[in-house]
A and B are shown apart, each in its own frame.
Chain A
């Protein structure tokens, strides 16, 4: 009776182990993908916050959209920004805020758009601005 393993059997076992290990490597590429996503989204978040700050002043809002600020979407300004070789295009959408006097309370949606691996991505921050 033949008790030992043949070379073929050993090779098959090695191939199976290799396939299992290779599938584990996917964790690393997934990790890198998430890291890249975090990098671009953090940039977009900081730019969006910066624009929120810029228009957290009624005078600045009137400068871009008139008095009272007209409902609509505004671009250039806010101007596109290139950081880490990615172009981030911001837009400011003004709508009426909740409450009895919409001319004195506006809702601002700041959206940052960019292209990552050929896919369009965007990130939106919403804030309210009162004329006080």
Chain B
């Protein structure tokens, strides 16, 4: 009987098994990387929300502290005067002329329109406060409350990976 099998090469079965093993390994690795990427993106989004709310809160309370004649113009708009005589406005966009609703703006001007003309963005990812509180509230006794809520995707409803993050503080204008 003539021996036809060549022991130097791979048999079809060996190649098939190796392909299946390789496929399983790649599928597992792909799944793991997809999970890692999703988790990384989720953490980055939440961090951005925390950073935006924290920075805006810090900036606004520091500036308001140095100001005077603080007035809550409406639920999401406030104005005050700096010692330099400039009038500063903070407001959440109205979805029209005064900017996007997911942004808190700052502008300088005697009137709201003038301030809107030189507006800068203070914070992004803003949504209405789930507590029902306004962005700016007169807490009485010369004290004012600020509350901000952010969400990674403000346009989408609250859900997995899109949770609210709220910050609240109080500030006393000193001038």
Residues of A whose CB lies within 8 Å of any CB of B are 7, 10, 14, 18, 21, 25, 28, 31-32, 35, 38-39, 42-43, 46-47, 49-51, 53-54, 56-57, 59-60, 81, 83-84
Take A35-B43, A35-B47 as given contacts and tell me if A46 and B28 are in contact as well, using a CB distance cutoff of 8 Å.
no
Beta-carbon nearest neighbor of B17 in chain A: A7
**B73 an interface residue at 8 Å Cβ cutoff?**
no
Select B168's contact among A28, A46, A59, beta carbons within 8 Å: A46
Give the CA-CA distance A56 to B169 in the complex, in Å.
14
- Identify which of residues 47-103 in chain B touch chain A, using a CB-to-CB cut-off of 8 Å: 47, 50, 53-54, 57, 61, 65
A49 close to B61 (CB less than 8 A): yes
Take A25-B36, A28-B39, A42-B50 as given contacts and tell me if A54 and B143 are in contact as well, using a CB distance cutoff of 8 Å.
yes
**B155 an interface residue at 8 Å Cβ cutoff?**
no
Select B25's contact among A14, A35, A39, A43, beta carbons within 8 Å: A14
**B142 an interface residue at 8 Å Cβ cutoff?**
yes
Give the CA-CA distance A32 to B65 in the complex, in Å.
34
What is the CB-to-nearest-CB distance from A18 to chain B, in angstroms, rounded to a whole number?
7
Is chain A's interface secondary structure helix, strand, loop, or mixed overall? helix
A51 close to B170 (CB less than 8 A): yes
Give the CA-CA distance A21 to B54 in the complex, in Å.
34
- Tell me which residues across on chain B come within 8 A of A54, comparing CB atoms: 139, 143, 170, 172
B167 close to A57 (CB less than 8 A): no
B141 close to A60 (CB less than 8 A): yes
A32 close to B170 (CB less than 8 A): no
- Tell me which residues across on chain A come within 8 A of B21, comparing CB atoms: 7, 10, 14
What is the CB-to-nearest-CB distance from A19 to chain B, in angstroms, rounded to a whole number?
12
What is the CB-to-nearest-CB distance from A21 to chain B, in angstroms, rounded to a whole number?
6
- Tell me which residues across on chain A come within 8 A of B131, comparing CB atoms: 83
